[in-house]
Amino acid sequence: MKYNKIFIGFWFFFFGLIIATAQEEETDDLGTQEITVVKSYSPSLKSVFKIQTLPEIDDSLVQKKIKVDYTFESIPVLSTFVPNKATPLKLQRQESSFYHNSYVMGGIGNQSYLQFNLSAMVPLDRMQSIGLEFLYNKVGAIDQTLLNSDQKRTSLNLLHQYKQNNMRVDSDLRFDRQGHNFFGLYDLDWTEIPSLRLNVIDPSQNLNYLSIRSRWQWYEGLFSRVNFNTHITTDSFDSMEHIVKINSKMRIPFFNQYLELIPHVELINTDFVSGYYNDQILEFHKGMGRLELQFLNVGKKLKLLLGAKGIYPFGNIEEGNPIFFVYPKAEISYKSGSGKWVPFVNYNGIYDLNSFTAFSLENPYMAPTMTIKPTEVNHYGDLGFNAYPGSGLSFKLNAHYSQYDNFPMFKRLPYDQNNKDMAYRLGNAYEVIYDSVEKMAIVTRIAMRFSEYNKISLETGYFKYIRNGDQKVWNLPSLKIDFNVNLRLGRKLFFQVGGNYIGDRDSVRNRVVPLTDNSSGNFETVESLESVFSVLSSITWKINSQWDFFYQGKTFLSENTSRWAYYENQSQVHLGGVRYKFDINF
């Protein structure tokens, strides 16, 4: 027993010595480690419906709030500020605009004024559309005219449009019939002229215009456009004119700019039954080929176009005329840094083939017999500037100079004692004469655009003509004024007014006397025509998106109501009507 205690004590002492020695040797290498034994969670059905509570952790750093006391010192201040009560913004519903593809309108007014108009442009698919336009209007006869003096017009237009991403084609077939009367007789006692038989004369002149046009446009590629136009004009006196025009434009890239090549061919054939001073048939066959070559540079500030055009006329060419014409062409404009100031200068020359169609559209009282000559514009230049001060305001001022050979002027024909009851042989029709003329002008235009519907424009032109030999230029005013006003009054009322002023001009008056052995019956004198000032107005009341009421009126504020001598118009005409808009879908 004693042995065992000594033996056990020895071994305890021995192991204690070993452990103490080992700890002294490995004190720097052995660190303290903590082992956490986690028992896997084994859920049971008893804990399914238990409400889990968030563990609460005692925070020993929570401090009590420190109470802070504030002291205020009052200082007297004088103030006149009165706060305004805030009011909520009122939202306005934006007006939605919906456009219909068709409309029909009609109206009636004083002086037997009638108007009817039908228009439609209907899409066939995403690329094609077809259209129809029909117009008819009529104004009754003027009181106290010896011959019938009413006017009427009928127009029918068929359209077709084809569009793709890289091209567009617009074509139309148009028929326009304008009914006038040769009623502008001199103010004299016609009972003393036995060759005038009013009861058998038909003064009507129906001008019929038929045209076929096709315009092709490409946005990419060599060809930029190709246009084809053909016109046929007839009247009540068996006159006929046929016009064909073909032109195109090719745009060739050239050092990041463009070279444009514009060929043009034009043919005009005109036939009159007889001349005015003889019974011979008048036929005119004229044509020309024109080629323009121009360099186009469009920059941010500078726009430059330089080129030339060569013209080869053919057909009935007068003796002594050149067989080939060359005219320069230049257009230069420069935009300032702010873009509010754009000076420009243009200069070119033109060779025009005149036609009975163009003359009759300008003056419907042309005699259906005339001499047709081409006009050579040797110099045509403009120098001026466009200004855009801002806020929708724009201003234009330019000086003009041009010099013409065979400049056309309208001159009143003498009375024909052997008129054979032809309405245009009573000293009431016009012929065209040609001469060398210089034209100088100052033209200004000012426009103010307030919004899409509210805008005002005024254009004035002062002209001076110098004719060869200081002779008179006939029926050309020295002053022209045009103004237009468009206003939207409220949401449903639209107002438009336009005015046209034509200044004094010189005309020819032929003295008509009974034919005797010693007198031809005609003596030419100069007659000064008074100015003409006319105002056109229109008011539209939009009832809803489909129905409109409208008013149209034309009033002459001058005593003279005629652009052409003795062809007076109704001093006042007023018309009221209704317009209905709708949609047509195929």
60 lies in some domain: no
User: Residue 523 in contact with residue 427, Cβ under 8 Å?
Assistant: no
Burial of 459 (0-12, 13-18, 19+ CB in 10 A): middle
83 lies in some domain: no
390 lies in some domain: yes
Distances (CA, A) of 418 to 23, 140, 430: 155, 31, 17
User: Residue 210 in contact with residue 231, Cβ under 8 Å?
Assistant: yes
33-69 pLDDT, tens digit per residue, is 555 444 444 444 444 444 444 444 444 444 555 565 6
Q: In this structure, what CATH number is given to the domain that contains residue 423?
A: 2.40.170.20
Residue 92 clears pLDDT 70, i.e. is over it: no
Q: In terms of residue numbers, what domain contains 365?
A: 102-582
Report the domain count for the chain. Answer: 1
Residue 543 clears pLDDT 80, i.e. is over it: yes
Average pLDDT on 540-545 reads 94
Query: Cβ neighbours of residue 511 under 8 Å, at least 6 residues apart?
Result: 522, 523, 524, 525
Residue 22 clears pLDDT 50, i.e. is over it: no
64 lies in some domain: no
CA distance 136 to 116: 5
Predicted local confidence at residue 194, as pLDDT: 87
Name the residue among 499, 566, 506 with its Cα closest to residue 533: 499
CA distance 421 to 358: 27
User: Residue 347 in contact with residue 332, Cβ under 8 Å?
Assistant: no
Tokens of 150: 């009413």
| Percent of the residues in the chain that have a pLDDT greater than 90, as a whole number | 69
Q: What is the largest CA-CA distance in the chain?
A: 194
461-518 pLDDT, tens digit per residue, is 999 999 998 999 999 999 999 999 999 998 899 999 999 999 999 999 998 876 554 5
Predicted local confidence at residue 97, as pLDDT: 55
Predicted local confidence at residue 30, as pLDDT: 46
431-467 pLDDT, tens digit per residue, is 999 999 999 999 999 999 998 889 999 999 999 999 9
262-294 pLDDT, tens digit per residue, is 999 999 999 999 999 988 999 999 999 999 999
- Let me know how long the chain is: 586
Predicted local confidence at residue 337, as pLDDT: 80
533 lies in some domain: yes
Least confident of 54-58, 110-114, 245-249, 470-474: 54-58
pLDDT tier at 305 (50, 70, 90 boundaries)? very high
Residue 3 clears pLDDT 50, i.e. is over it: no
Residue 254 clears pLDDT 90, i.e. is over it: no
Predicted local confidence at residue 59, as pLDDT: 47
Beta bridge partners of 382: 346, 400
User: Residue 421 in contact with residue 197, Cβ under 8 Å?
Assistant: yes
Name the residue among 506, 503, 508, 501 with its Cα closest to residue 482: 501
Whole-number average pLDDT of the chain: 86
DSSP state of 470: G
Cα-flanking dihedrals φ and ψ of residue 468, to 5°?
Answer: -55, 125
242 lies in some domain: yes
Average pLDDT on 132-155 reads 95
**Long-range contacts formed by 222-231: CB under 8 A, 24+ apart:** 222/250, 222/251, 222/252, 223/248, 223/249, 223/250, 224/248, 224/249, 224/250, 224/251, 224/260, 225/249, 231/357
CA distance 376 to 379: 9
Beta bridge partners of 472: none
CB-CB neighbours of 231 under 10 Å: 19
181-204 pLDDT, tens digit per residue, is 999 999 988 888 888 999 999 999
CA distance 338 to 109: 51
Distances (CA, A) of 53 to 39, 41, 46, 58, 121: 21, 18, 16, 15, 76
Residue in the block written with tokens 């228009």: 119
Average pLDDT on 93-117 reads 85
Average pLDDT on 334-338 reads 86
410-437 pLDDT, tens digit per residue, is 999 999 989 999 999 999 999 999 999 9
549 lies in some domain: yes
Distances (CA, A) of 182 to 196, 230, 272, 463, 524: 14, 28, 18, 30, 20
CA distance 265 to 166: 26
CA distance 156 to 176: 6
Residue 532 clears pLDDT 70, i.e. is over it: yes
320 lies in some domain: yes
